[in-house]
C-alpha cells in the first residue's frame, strides 16, 4: 500500500485546504471522510436546480482580505447579504436587532428614542455584571427583546435554559441603531454561485480521496499509511474519551420540495418562540436569487448530542473548556498528529475562521514547524 506524507481525516474546509496547500508543495495526501461525500458541513447538493445547503445555512463573510481572496480562487461569489427575519407568534421582526426591530416593538423612530427605551429597560433590570446569557441579553437589549427574540430561540438551540448558558454566546448577535438588516459587519460577504461543493472538489483535484471511510473502524491500518495525520474529528474521540466526553450540540434537518416558486420570501426565517420545535426554515433558492418553478425548504431542529450522533458545534462552557484543556495538553505532545477544525480544536468557528486556522497551520507545518490543537 502507498505511503503518504499526510492522512487527512475529514474533507471539510480545514482538511481540504490543508490537502490543497500540501499537495501544491509536493506532499502526498490521502483524504478520508466517513460521509458519502466530500465537503463536511459546507456540502451543497443540487435539488430541482437549487443548490441546497445540506447541513444548515452557510453564508460566507469576513473582513480578512487574504481569506476573501483565497476562497474566491475556487468560485465566484454573489452579492448575497445575510438578512434573516424572526417570526414570533406571527409577528415578523428584522434581524439583527436594529431600528426596524425597535420600530416594530415600540413604535420608536429615531436612534435616540430606541436608546432611551433600551436604557430604561436595562436600568430597570438592575444587572451590572451579567453572570449568564439571560442576564447578558437583558443587559444589552432589555427585557422586551430578550423575551420575544432571544429566550425561546436560544433555549431551543442550546437545549438549556438561558440562565444556565455562558454570557459570551449572545455577543454573536449584533445590536445596531441604524435601519440596516445586514446581519454581519464584515467587509466581504456572499454565497458561491453554484454552491460550496465545487470549492472542495477543486481543492481536492489530483489528491487521493476515500469517502464512506471511518477512521475509527480502520484506525490501525490507516495510521500506518502516512507519516502524519491531520485530524478534524472530535479530539476526545481520538483519545478514546480517556478524560471523559466533551459535550456538543447536534442538529436535525427535514427537507421538503414544494410545488411553489416562493415559500417564505427570504432565505432564512427564525422561529423564536420556544413552542415551535424547529429554530428556523431555510429556503435555499434565495441564496442565489433563484427563479426555479419549485422551491426546497429545510426545517432545522436543534438536538441534544449523544455518543454516535453527528456533532455540529462544541458546548464551550466553563466545564467543557476545562476538559478540553486536558485533551489539548495531550495533543501538544504529539509529533505526528495535527488537530484542526471545530471538532479537533473544540471551538465555535465560522467558515472564515476555519480558513484562517488552516492557512496558519499549513504555514507552520511546512516551515517546518508543528501546528498544535
Q: What CATH number should be reported for the domain holding residue 213?
A: 3.40.50.720
| Residue found under cell 481540504 | 16
Give domain status of residue 333, yes or no.
Answer: yes
**pLDDT-derived band of residue 370, with 50, 70 and 90 as boundaries?**
very low
pTM of the model: 0.91
| Residue found under cell 495533543 | 331
Q: Which of 137, 172, 207 is a domain's end point?
A: 172
168 and 137 in a common domain: yes
157 and 195 in a common domain: no
Number of domains in the chain: 2
**pLDDT, position 373:** 52
What is d(CA 256, CA 269) in angstroms, rounded to the nearest whole number?
A: 15
74 and 119 in a common domain: no
Q: Which of 139, 172, 205 is a domain's end point?
A: 172
Cis peptide before 96 (omega within 30 of 0): yes
146 and 123 in a common domain: yes
Mean of all residue pLDDT scores within the chain: 94
Q: Which domain holds residue 67?
A: 4-81+189-244+315-366
Per-residue pLDDT for 169 more than 80? no
Picking from 70-74, 158-162, 280-284, 352-356, which range would have the lowest pLDDT averaged per residue?
158-162
Percent of residues, the chain, with pLDDT higher than 70: 97
Picking from 20-24, 163-167, 290-294, which range would have the lowest pLDDT averaged per residue?
163-167
The whole-number average pLDDT for the span 284-300 is: 98
45 and 102 in a common domain: no
**pLDDT-derived band of residue 323, with 50, 70 and 90 as boundaries?**
very high
Give domain status of residue 281, yes or no.
Answer: no
Query: In this structure, are residues 180 and 174 in contact, taking their beta carbons and an 8 Å threshold?
Result: no
Give domain status of residue 136, yes or no.
Answer: yes
Q: Indicate if the alpha-carbon torsion angle 219, 225, 227, 232 is positive or negative.
A: negative
2 vs 348, more confident: 348
201 and 147 in a common domain: no
Give domain status of residue 204, yes or no.
Answer: yes
Of 55, 87, 85, 60, nearest to 251 (Cα)? 55
337 and 200 in a common domain: yes
Per-residue pLDDT for 78 more than 50? yes
Give domain status of residue 250, yes or no.
Answer: no
Per-residue pLDDT for 369 more than 50? no
263 vs 302, more confident: 263
Catalytic annotation, residues:
172, 176, 249, 280, 300, 348, 350
Per-residue pLDDT for 120 more than 50? yes
**pLDDT, position 307:** 87
Reduced to 3 states (helix: H, G, I; strand: E, B; else coil), residue 31 is strand
**pLDDT, position 317:** 84
197 and 67 in a common domain: yes
pLDDT tens digit sequence for 249-272: 899 999 999 999 999 999 999 999
239 and 118 in a common domain: no
**pLDDT, position 368:** 55
Give domain status of residue 71, yes or no.
Answer: yes
Q: Which of 140, 172, 204 is a domain's end point?
A: 172
Give domain status of residue 283, yes or no.
Answer: no
**CA-to-CA dists, residue 141 to 97, 116, 129, 138, angstroms:** 9, 11, 14, 5
CA-atom Rg of the chain in angstroms: 22
Q: Which residues contact 65 (CB under 8 A, 6 or more apart)?
A: 187, 188
73 and 99 in a common domain: no
Distance, first Cα to last Cα, the chain: 29
Take residue 11 and report the three cell numbers written for it: 474533507
Per-residue pLDDT for 371 more than 90? no
**pLDDT, position 19:** 98
Triad 177, 180, 185: Cα angle to 5°: 90
Give domain status of residue 350, yes or no.
Answer: yes
18 and 156 in a common domain: no
**pLDDT, position 349:** 94
pLDDT tens digit sequence for 170-220: 765 568 999 999 999 899 999 999 999 999 999 999 999 999 999 999 999
The whole-number average pLDDT for the span 76-104 is: 96
166 and 113 in a common domain: yes
Amino acid at each position: 500500500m502507498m505511503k503518504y506524507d499526510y492522512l487527512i481525516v475529514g474533507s471539510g474546509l480545514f482538511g481540504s485546504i490543508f490537502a490543497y496547500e500540501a499537495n501544491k508543495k509536493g506532499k502526498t495526501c490521502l483524504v478520508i471522510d466517513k460521509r458519502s461525500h466530500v465537503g463536511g458541513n459546507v456540502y451543497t447538493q443540487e435539488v430541482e436546480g437549487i443548490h441546497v445547503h445540506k447541513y444548515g445555512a452557510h453564508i460566507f463573510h469576513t473582513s480578512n482580505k487574504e481569506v476573501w481572496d483565497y476562497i474566491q480562487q475556487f468560485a465566484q461569489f454573489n452579492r448575497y447579504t445575510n438578512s434573516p427575519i424572526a417570526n414570533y407568534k406571527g409577528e415578523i421582526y428584522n434581524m439583527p436587532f436594529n431600528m426596524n426591530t425597535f420600530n416594530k416593538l415600540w413604535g420608536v423612530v429615531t436612534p435616540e428614542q430606541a436608546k432611551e427605551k433600551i436604557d430604561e429597560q436595562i436600568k430597570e433590570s438592575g444587572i451590572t455584571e451579567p453572570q449568564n446569557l439571560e442576564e447578558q441579553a437583558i443587559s444589552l437589549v432589555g427585557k422586551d427583546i430578550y423575551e420575544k427574540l432571544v429566550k425561546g430561540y436560544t433555549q431551543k438551540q442550546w437545549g438549556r435554559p438561558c440562565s444556565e448558558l455562558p454570557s459570551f454566546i449572545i455577543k454573536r448577535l449584533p445590536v445596531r441603531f441604524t435601519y440596516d438588516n445586514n446581519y454581519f459587519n464584515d467587509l466581504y460577504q456572499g454565497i458561491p454561485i453554484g454552491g460550496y461543493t465545487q470549492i472542495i472538489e477543486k481543492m481536492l483535484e489530483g489528491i487521493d480521496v476515500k469517502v464512506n471511510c471511518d477512521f475509527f473502524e480502520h484506525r490501525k491500518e490507516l495510521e500506518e499509511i502516512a507519516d502524519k495525520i491531520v485530524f478534524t474529528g472530535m479530539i476526545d474521540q481520538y483519545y478514546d474519551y480517556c478524560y471523559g466526553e466533551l459535550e456538543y450540540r447536534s442538529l436535525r434537518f427535514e427537507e421538503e420540495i414544494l410545488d411553489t416558486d416562493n415559500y417564505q420570501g427570504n432565505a432564512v426565517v427564525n422561529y423564536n418562540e420556544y413552542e415551535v420545535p424547529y429554530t428556523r426554515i431555510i429556503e435555499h433558492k434565495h441564496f442565489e436569487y433563484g427563479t426555479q418553478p419549485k422551491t426546497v425548504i429545510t426545517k432545522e431542529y436543534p438536538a441534544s448530542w449523544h455518543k454516535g450522533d453527528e456533532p455540529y458545534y462544541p458546548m464551550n462552557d466553563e466545564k467543557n473548556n476545562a476538559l478540553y484543556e486536558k485533551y489539548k495538553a495531550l495533543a501538544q505532545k504529539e509529533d505526528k498528529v495535527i488537530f484542526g477544525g471545530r471538532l479537533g480544536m473544540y471551538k465555535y468557528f465560522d467558515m472564515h475562521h476555519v480558513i484562517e486556522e488552516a492557512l496558519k497551520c499549513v504555514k507552520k507545518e511546512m516551515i517546518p514547524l508543528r501546528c498544535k490543537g
